[in-house]
Amino acid sequence: MNVFPDVAVSPWVSFGGGFGYFSGNSAGAPNTGNATGVLQAGLGLDVKLFGHFSLRGEARDFWSGVPQLNVNTGKSRQHNIFVGGGIVWHF
C-alpha cells in the first residue's frame, strides 16, 4: 500500500504470504529440500526523480520455516531479512 502516491517522497508498506522452498546440498550428503509457508512484511520509501522514474529503498522480512540441516537449532521458524534499493519505472 503506497501511503501518499502523488507526492515527491512516498512511504509504503506491504504484507503477504505464500510458499518457499529450501534447496541445498553439501559434499558427501544427499540433496535435501523442504517447502514451507512464508509470511512477508515490508516497508520502503519511493522518491520521485523525473517523469515516470523513482528511486526506491526497502526492507522486507520473510518469516519462514527452517531448512533441513544436519544441526538442530531448536527453532521451527526463522527471519530472512532483505534490504534493497533501485530505480522504479511507473507505467
- Asked whether residue 43 is assigned to any structural domain, the reply reads yes
Residue 31: the pLDDT is 67
- Asked whether residue 49 is assigned to any structural domain, the reply reads yes
What confidence tens digit (pLDDT) does each residue in 4-22 have?
878 889 999 999 999 988 8
Into how many domains does the chain fold?
1
- Distance of alpha carbon 49 from alpha carbon 8, whole angstroms: 8
What mean pLDDT is predicted for residues 80-85? Answer: 95
- Asked whether residue 1 is assigned to any structural domain, the reply reads no
- Asked whether residue 15 is assigned to any structural domain, the reply reads yes
- Asked whether residue 42 is assigned to any structural domain, the reply reads yes
Give the global pTM: 0.75
- Asked whether residue 26 is assigned to any structural domain, the reply reads no
Give yes or no for residue 34 having a pLDDT over 90. Answer: no
Cell output for 67? 531448512
Element (H, E) at 30: none
- Asked whether residue 4 is assigned to any structural domain, the reply reads no
Q: Which domain holds residue 68?
A: 9-21+34-89
